[in-house]
């Protein structure tokens, strides 16, 4: 699959096959793709929490009601930002950098035959703070990415809207 094909065919998946765990090698490839994302001054202001535990996923679903797809997803990857890494060089770009890492996870997962759903956490304190406790991290949870073999085929929702483009 080429990159444009992956971008155009990627969908937010909310129903996953429960009989298809994600092997560690595939998880490693998604994390490698995430860490290949560009970052301001190459500061790499991220860390990742990989969640396979049913109990932890249940706690996340209670803290973040829009993550109910974790009920069937065999895996979640939480992308967390580390703003302190950029304090003295390129401060403030960590959300963009972590967003690029999330997108790389989505595209790598698509290439590997998985579906994903990106659920935002940061900048909402009522999501960030409980997630920090659940994950036992000091970093800032930016997004929860559900991962698994899709059990649905939603239609495309994205499209090129020329009215939002200005050529100079």
Share of the chain above pLDDT 70, in %: 100
Question: Model confidence at 122, in pLDDT bands (50, 70, 90)?
Answer: very high
Distance (Å, whole) CA 75 – CA 83: 26
- pTM of the complete model: 0.97
Distance (Å, whole) CA 157 – CA 112: 22
Q: What is the pLDDT of residue 1?
A: 83
Closest CA to 13 of 155, 158, 156, 152: 152
Closest CA to 45 of 106, 108, 88: 88
Residue 106 has pLDDT above 90, yes or no: yes
CATH 3.60.150.10 fits 3-151, yes or no: no
């Amino acid at each position: 699959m080429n990159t444009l094909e992956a971008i155009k065919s990627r969908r937010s998946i909310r129903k996953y096959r429960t009989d298809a765990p994600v092997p560690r090698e595939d998880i490693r490839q998604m994390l490698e793709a995430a860490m290949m994302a560009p970052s301001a001054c190459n500061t790499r202001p991220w860390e990742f929490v990989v969640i396979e535990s049913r109990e932890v996923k249940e706690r996340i679903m209670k803290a973040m009601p829009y993550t109910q797809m974790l009920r069937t997803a065999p895996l979640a990857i939480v992308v967390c930002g580390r703003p302190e890494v950029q304090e003295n060089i390129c401060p403030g770009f960590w959300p963009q950098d972590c967003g690029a890492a999330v997108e790389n996870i989505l595209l790598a997962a698509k290439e590997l035959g998985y579906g994903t759903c990106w659920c935002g956490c940061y900048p909402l304190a009522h999501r960030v703070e409980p997630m920090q406790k659940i994950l036992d991290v000091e970093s800032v949870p930016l997004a929860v990415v559900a991962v698994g073999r899709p059990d649905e085929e939603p239609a495309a929702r994205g499209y090129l809207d020329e009215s939002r483009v200005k050529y100079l």
